[in-house]
Amino acid sequence: MLEPIIYEGGVFKHNLVTELVEDLGGYIIQTNFMQTEVRIQLLCPHEDMSMLEDLAKELRAKITRAPLTGTDIIVIAPTLAYHHLPHHACDVAEYMRRFGANTTLIGLARGVGRRIAQISAKERALADEHDLAIFTFGNFEDCLTKEKYVLYKDLEVPSIITGTPELIKAPAYAKAYVGGLGRIAHRLKGENELTALDKLAEVAGECLDEERLDIAKDPLTIQPARLMSEIKEQVPAINKSLSPAPITLQLKGARIKLPYREYKEAIENMTFEEGTTLKEIADVLPSYVRDYLVIRILPKSVTGFVM
């Protein structure tokens, strides 16, 4: 089993970490340089964790478990209107990133209000492209429980709702609810607000673990992390992408930040050492995010084998 980890330390000798993880059969997901500091998101085999811990200690670096690593979360606010800045949804998205998730933040075109709230088919399809949707709603229980469900009831991905009141059970159609995170007109830095954010990260982790268990019942033909390292080797154009995460890992695949029309064929024809091509084990689809590609890995029940 691969353990999701965030490594934070100096740039000096950080390549030793990269090499160690690759030698152990783990994967480097993302590396961010911040002047003399480096932050690496990685997956390390559970049984070899002590080696990574020893190396981190030697390099005076910090390693923490990041349960959301390798997941793609969409944070949806009913509006991102400029006169409501700062939006607490921004802090929510940023906080999820600290636990390793890749987050997308959107404001709905017509998500505001009660009776008038609605979500478009395009927005819904965009949300369904992610692993988990977090809806950041407002202050009133009446709105949360009786009106706003129209925004997430038809989503295929699980939805976590946030709002001000503490509800005993999650509103209808929602997977979970986290209170204390309603409409707040300042940056989230109060003790209660940070506790609520921690709670949200924990709930998101639990939801994603449930999803992982579901996937484990019918495992994917190839692990998304392995798919990522193969793409890095076989499609050199990905290394020229300026995005901080050119390949965004998801539970059931990945989003590749390359133009769909130009690279669909190259990606589909990637060959693995087992002799199969990617198009035999996955669907390559256009993403709803810009003109990117989305890869949906097929499960064992469809392909008949696991690599």
Partner 1 sequence: MEPLEVFRVESPDKTGAEAYESVSRDVLSDLELTTTLGRLWIYIDPAEPVFIFCTLIRSGLPPVCVRDMAEIEVGAPGVDEVSINIFNEEYVPQLLSALRIKYGRENIEQPDRKTMTIATKDPSEVAKEVADVIIADPRREIESRLADALLRITPEGFRVRHHISTESEMLFVASEDPIKPEWIKKAEDMISELKED
What is d(CA 284, CA 297) in angstroms, rounded to the nearest whole number?
9
199 touches partner 1 (CB under 8 A): no
For partner 1, the binding residue among 112, 150, 237, 285 (CB under 8 A) is 112
Segment lying near partner 1 (by CB under 8 A), choices 12-20, 54-62, 158-166, 288-296 = 158-166
Told to check if 118 binds partner 1 by CB under 8 A, we report no
- Which of 39, 97, 98, 183 binds partner 1 (CB under 8 A)? It is 183
Q: Tokens standing for 5?
A: 């980890």
CA distance 46 to 68: 16
* Minimal distance, residue 81 CB to partner 1, in Å: 6
Q: Can residue 45 be called a binding residue for partner 1 (CB under 8 A)?
A: no
Contact assessment for residue 228 and residue 27, using Cβ atoms and an 8 Å cutoff: yes
Residue among 5, 52, 117, 231 that touches partner 1 (CB under 8 A): 117
Dist CA 13 CA 152 (whole Å): 46
What are the angstrom distances between the C-alpha of 74 and each of 165, 182, 184, 201?
22, 17, 20, 13
Residue 175's Cβ-count burial label (10 Å; 0-12, 13-18, 19+) is buried
- For residues 83 and 217, which CB has a smaller minimum distance to partner 1 in the complex? 83
Binding mask 120-149 for partner 1 (x = CB under 8 A): ------------------xxxxxx------
b/e code 14-27 from CB counts within 10 Å (16+ = b)? beebbebbeebebb
Nearest to 241, CA basis, from 197, 279, 290: 290
Report the residue number, 11 or 172, with the smaller CB distance to partner 1. 172
Q: Which residue is listed with tokens 């690279």? A: 263
Among residues 45, 165, 259, 286, the one that binds partner 1 under rule CB under 8 A: 165
* Smallest gap from residue 270 Cβ to partner 1 (A): 46
Span 81-110, contacts to partner 1 by CB under 8 A: 81, 83-84
Q: Where do contacts with partner 1 occur on this chain (CB under 8 A)?
A: 78-79, 81, 83-84, 112-117, 138-143, 164-166, 182-186
